[in-house]
Structure 1
Amino acid sequence: MTATTPQTPATPATAPRFAAPPPAPPWWARLGGPAAFTAVALLALVAAPLLLEPFRLNLLAKYLCYAIVGLGIGLAWGQGGMLVIGQGVFFGLGGYAMGMYLKLHEAGGDLPDFMVWSGVERLPALWAPFASPAFSLVFAVAGPMALAGLLGTLVFRRRVRGAYFAILTQALAAATVILLVGRQGLTGGTNGLTNFFELFGQDLAADGTQRGLYLVVAVVLGVLYLGARQLLRSRFGRLLIAVRDGEDRVRFLGYDPATVKTLTFAVSAGMAGLAGALFVPVVGIISPALLGVVPSLELVVAVAVGGRFSLAGAILGAVVMGQARTTFSEQFADGWLYLQGALFIVVMTLAPRGLAGLAGTAREMWSSRRARA
């Protein structure tokens, strides 16, 4: 037997020393998180009615309606990987549902004005259910969700994805515009539905009514944002991101990606329909020009500017692009479209992940700097 040399315990001089925790990143690297965005957005939304005049407050309510659509696009595209460039269809369904109710309410049992001008003698059966405000509000959300669910079931079951799915949604938007324009006596044709004066007995032109509509839109946006965040934190949300990153792997694990994508697409469409229903009393019009291919593409561009991988970025992008469009058109009436395009190019060049990705980039730069040090 060989004797073993006993090991001596480590002396204080040779004992391992624990390194001090790294310093916290600076304040500019901690901005932009979900909690910070929620706090700043809540403060801004509460202060807006006190700081803005009625006209600007109405414009902000309009941008928030677009932000609701952008939130749905961020959920479907940024988190689910489905490039949806036909959300104007679902936005229009919700808008026309609310517009039909308002026209019937103002007609007081008679035909709406555009039907009289078009020579229609009896109210079409399609319009009759929209005399009820409850049915109109439910249809504004359930109608787009049903259409998106049907389309998703037919498309995703056949494993259509990527650019093919994007082109399909774009074709749906173009076909919807052609259908609405061609039915003058039923939909108002190119002019759409307009001349709304009352909502639930309140004058839509009154400043108090517009302020109340702004608060309703802001609350709806906040609730939907918190609900979408909670959805992403759930098991379904993790499965949705997994489908985006590796759909075939998720299928091999025993899950059905088609069901996940269809449900997400339907939720996104429901958000767009609700936004359209809120948009009509805020702006006072709904027409085919608001739900065609170009408006749908502009919403996708806005989400890309804000950051499609962040729900907060999708909302931010819709508001920023809406405000930029108003500012550029007021200051440069002849070339504001070029300035809007330049804004998109600059943001995508300097911040490929959008405005919301700037905070993440700052945190990564700080971490790499500390690692090198």
Structure 2
Amino acid sequence: MQRLRGIGGAWAGYALLALVLVVIMPLALDVFRLNLIGKYLSYAFVAVGLVMLWGYGGVLSLGQGVFFGLGGYVMAMFLKLEASDVKSTAIQSTPGIPDFMDWNQLTALPWWWEPFRHLPVALIGVVVVPALLAFVISVAMFRRRVGGVYFAIITQAVALILSVLIIGQQGYTGGVNGITDLKTLLGWDIRTDSARLILYFVTVALLFGAIALCRWIQKSKLGVLLLAMRDKEDRVRFSGYDVSMFKVFVFCLAAALAAIGGAMFTLQVGFMSPSFVGIVPSIEMVIFAAVGGRMSLVGAVWGTLLVNAGKTYFSESFPDLWLFLMAALFIGVVVAFPDGLAGLYTKYVSRRRRAAEPPTPPKPEALPAKTA
């Protein structure tokens, strides 16, 4: 009975989230605000991945902006190449290459840009490139049993290194401005209101697909092992399991999810820059999961929406104070609700609902065995 109640509560959470995202928000908001919500939901991919990595795997990464940015840059490379055809760039010194390359006196497209002229390659690259980097980092670290705060610091260092590299290689990456002026996807103008509406629903569909995948993993034997590894890592290792490879898997999974979010962000916003790769955005992404509840997939989405909506509201209404107000929001939520919004729901709503239900009748006692 308790299990059925838990399943019913989980489905109710998914249904409520779907109702809000699919029905209420498209009806209540104009296209501009709905596009903002779509941008927030692209961050939610990172938060969902952090639920698996941090909440279930016990591995805190402060560099998820790296994978979000890589996914966004891969998609931006395809879109920029499509916008840089010979006709559109006829006024450049070297037609047929992105404008920032021409400004930096490059005379040919770098070889590693060439594969991203093709959409299937770009879509595969969105997932494969960040996951491959995550695999290299995690194997190098977890095989040597580097974890805890040391791993978190290393991921911060990776975020700093990548952002500096992107800014420094201006001729190849667009530098501090990033890759901008992205207009079409296979000839489809992504700047129109109808395109933004479609991209919003695509983002919502992919997000629910990511939640379904993570929920399936949680319910599988792998999910049980991740929780056991988080709480009693040595016991899992002594049971014969390769703990390091479990960590590698969940880290790569979180990286792939973050990269999908980055690609959808690029499509909806129309640019990608190193400002989404560094340490500060990576820490903000951890806050999304913390506010929503690091053990709740649905809570991670709500936390992302709450934090970003607060950020937008405070920056518009209190331009001189919004950073302080955001800091107060973060500190207040974490101190008052250490388990996030999901913990608040469990503590007050779920318990009251269970208390209002009639008690389950006790099972009848077994009759004593008949003696001869």
1:97 is aligned to 74
* 1:288 partnered with 2:274: yes
2:133 is aligned to 147
Q: Residue 89 of structure 1 contacts residue 176 of structure 1 at CA under 8 Å; is this kept in 2?
A: yes
For 1:174 and 1:245, the matched residues in 2 are separated by: 30
2:54 is aligned to 77
For 2:27 and 2:136, the matched residues in 1 are separated by: 44
2:250 is aligned to 264
1:312 is aligned to 298
1:187 is aligned to 173
Q: Please, which of 26, 36, 39 is the counterpart of residue 62 of structure 1?
A: 39
For 2:107 and 2:354, the matched residues in 1 are separated by: 71
Report the alpha carbon displacement of residue 349 of structure 1 after superposing the two structures with TM.
Answer: 1.8
Q: Residue 31 of structure 1 contacts residue 359 of structure 1 at CA under 8 Å; is this kept in 2?
A: no
Identity %: 45
For 1:150 and 1:63, the matched residues in 2 are separated by: 29
Given the superposition, is the C-alpha separation of residues 184 and 267 from structure 1 closer, same or farther in structure 2, using an over 3 Å criterion? Answer: same
Given the superposition, is the C-alpha separation of residues 224 and 31 from structure 1 closer, same or farther in structure 2, using an over 3 Å criterion? Answer: closer
Q: Scaled by the length of structure 1, what TM-score is found?
A: 0.89
What's the secondary structure of 2:177's corresponding residue?
A: coil
What's the secondary structure of 2:340's corresponding residue?
A: coil
For 2:347 and 2:21, the matched residues in 1 are separated by: 27
How far does the alpha carbon of each residue in 1:18-64 deviate from its partner, in whole angstroms, 9 at most, with x for none? xxx99xx9xxxx99932121011111111122221010010000010
Given the superposition, is the C-alpha separation of residues 367 and 207 from structure 1 closer, same or farther in structure 2, using an over 3 Å criterion? Answer: closer
Q: Which amino acid aligns with 2:259?
A: G
Q: Which amino acid aligns with 2:178?
A: G
1:242-253 paired onto structure 2 within 5 Å:
242-253=228-239
2:17 is aligned to 41
Q: Residue 197 of structure 1 contacts residue 203 of structure 1 at CA under 8 Å; is this kept in 2?
A: yes
1:137-216 paired onto structure 2 within 5 Å:
137-216=123-202
* 1:223 partnered with 2:209: yes
What's the secondary structure of 2:144's corresponding residue?
A: coil
Q: Scaled by the length of structure 2, what TM-score is found?
A: 0.89
Given the superposition, is the C-alpha separation of residues 227 and 167 from structure 1 closer, same or farther in structure 2, using an over 3 Å criterion? Answer: same
Q: Which amino acid aligns with 1:353?
A: D
* 1:336 partnered with 2:312: no
What's the secondary structure of 2:175's corresponding residue?
A: coil
**Any stretches of 5+ residues in structure 2 without a counterpart?**
87-95, 358-372
Q: Which amino acid aligns with 2:119?
A: P
1:86 is aligned to 63
Q: Which amino acid aligns with 1:165?
A: F
For 1:358 and 1:31, the matched residues in 2 are separated by: 18
For 2:153 and 2:18, the matched residues in 1 are separated by: 37
For 1:365 and 1:39, the matched residues in 2 are separated by: 20
Q: Residue 101 of structure 1 contacts residue 132 of structure 1 at CA under 8 Å; is this kept in 2?
A: yes
Q: Which amino acid aligns with 1:54?
A: V
For 2:337 and 2:229, the matched residues in 1 are separated by: 25
**Any stretches of 5+ residues in structure 1 without a counterpart?**
1-20
Q: Residue 141 of structure 1 contacts residue 270 of structure 1 at CA under 8 Å; is this kept in 2?
A: yes
What's the secondary structure of 2:191's corresponding residue?
A: coil
How far does the alpha carbon of each residue in 1:290-323 deviate from its partner, in whole angstroms, 9 at most, with x for none? 1100000001011111111111111211111111
Given the superposition, is the C-alpha separation of residues 347 and 369 from structure 1 closer, same or farther in structure 2, using an over 3 Å criterion? Answer: farther
Report the alpha carbon displacement of residue 160 of structure 1 after superposing the two structures with TM.
Answer: 0.6
Q: Residue 67 of structure 2 contacts residue 255 of structure 2 at CA under 8 Å; is this kept in 1?
A: yes
For 1:161 and 1:323, the matched residues in 2 are separated by: 33
2:260 is aligned to 274
Q: Residue 32 of structure 1 contacts residue 356 of structure 1 at CA under 8 Å; is this kept in 2?
A: no
Q: Which amino acid aligns with 2:264?
A: L
How far does the alpha carbon of each residue in 1:234-272 deviate from its partner, in whole angstroms, 9 at most, with x for none? 001100111001111100111111011100100110001
How far does the alpha carbon of each residue in 1:297-356 deviate from its partner, in whole angstroms, 9 at most, with x for none? 001011111111111111211111111101111111111111111111111122110011
Q: Which amino acid aligns with 1:184?
A: Q
How far does the alpha carbon of each residue in 1:139-159 deviate from its partner, in whole angstroms, 9 at most, with x for none? 110111111111111111111
Report the alpha carbon displacement of residue 170 of structure 1 after superposing the two structures with TM.
Answer: 0.5
1:354-369 paired onto structure 2 within 5 Å:
354-362=340-348, 363=350
Query: How many residue pairs were aligned?
Result: 344
Report the alpha carbon displacement of residue 369 of structure 1 after superposing the two structures with TM.
Answer: 12
Q: Residue 17 of structure 2 contacts residue 298 of structure 2 at CA under 8 Å; is this kept in 1?
A: no
RMSD across aligned positions (CA): 2.1
Q: Please, which of 83, 88, 106 is the counterpart of residue 106 of structure 1?
A: 83
Q: Residue 49 of structure 2 contacts residue 254 of structure 2 at CA under 8 Å; is this kept in 1?
A: yes
For 2:345 and 2:144, the matched residues in 1 are separated by: 39
Decide which structure has the larger Cα Rg and report it. 1
1:237 is aligned to 223
Report the alpha carbon displacement of residue 200 of structure 1 after superposing the two structures with TM.
Answer: 2.2
